[in-house]
Every structure is written in C-alpha cells, then in structure tokens.
Amino acid sequence: MIIKLYDSELKVMDVLWKEGVLTAKQLAGILKEQVGWNKNTTYTVIKKCIEKGAIERMEPNFQCRAVLAREQVQQQETEELVNKIFDGSVDLLFAALLNKRNLSTEEVQRLKRLVNELE
C-alpha cells in the first residue's frame, strides 16, 4: 500500500519517528517550537495523516503513533523520485548525486561496500 505524504505530513511523522507515541497536544508543542505552527494547523495535519492511515489515534488523551515506518516512507519517496525525475533509472540518480558533491574518502568507501554487497 502506497501512502503519499506531503511535506507538512512528513514533519509530523518525523517527530513521531523520533519521539514515539505522543499526544496531539505534545506534537503541537514540538511543532510550534520547530516550525512555528499553531495548534489548529498541527491538529489538521494529524487528522489528514490519520485519514491516510499513516498515524493511529489512540485514547486516552488523543495519543498518536506512526503506523508507517520511516524506512517504508523513504523507499516510497525514493522510488517516486527515480521514476519521476530519472525515468526509472537508479544509475542516473546515483550519477547525478555523485556529480554534484565532493565525497569524502569515508563516503566513497561506504558506497563501494554497498555496491559490493549488491553483487
């Protein structure tokens, strides 16, 4: 099942991934501090995430728990990027990333290990 999350929804999910189960009030407090949202904005985004099945609402006290794992969302977003921008070609994405960035020796070694593990 693919659930498309927008930037605002990803902000809510990111807090839940880092903190675990929180009440909507706690989420609103954190997001007010992080991005300046008021309580109504946060509650609206939480509601959208619940409707999409990304967050589970539990009682008492309107507790929120991420249903989707961060890795699942990362995989979906990566696949969408590759398909939309790189015509489904992972190697073109990889080349674009490597061409725009000076990689440290450690990063190069990590990438080599990843590629070797795939073989």
Q: What is the CATH number of the domain that holds 18?
A: 1.10.10.10
Number of domains in the chain: 2
Question: CA-CA distance, 6 to 3, in Å (whole number)?
Answer: 10
| Mean per-residue pLDDT, 80-109 | 84
Predicted pLDDT of residue 90 = 85
53-to-20, 34, 56, 107, 119 alpha-carbon distances in Å: 16, 24, 7, 36, 36
Is residue 74 situated within a structural domain?
A: no
Q: What is the pLDDT of residue 115?
A: 84
What residues contact residue 35 under an 8 Å CB cut-off, 6+ apart?
11
> By residue range, what is the domain housing residue 109?
87-119
pLDDT tens digits, residue range 14-49? 999 999 999 999 999 999 999 999 999 999 999 999
Q: Considering the chain, what is the average pLDDT of its residues?
A: 92
Q: What is the DSSP letter of 101?
A: S
pLDDT band for position 51 (cuts 50, 70, 90)? very high
Residue 39 forms part of a structural domain: yes
- Does residue 72 fall inside a structural domain? no
Band the pLDDT of 100: cuts 50, 70, 90. Answer: low
The confidence band for 97, taking pLDDT boundaries of 50, 70 and 90, is confident
* pLDDT for position 32: 97
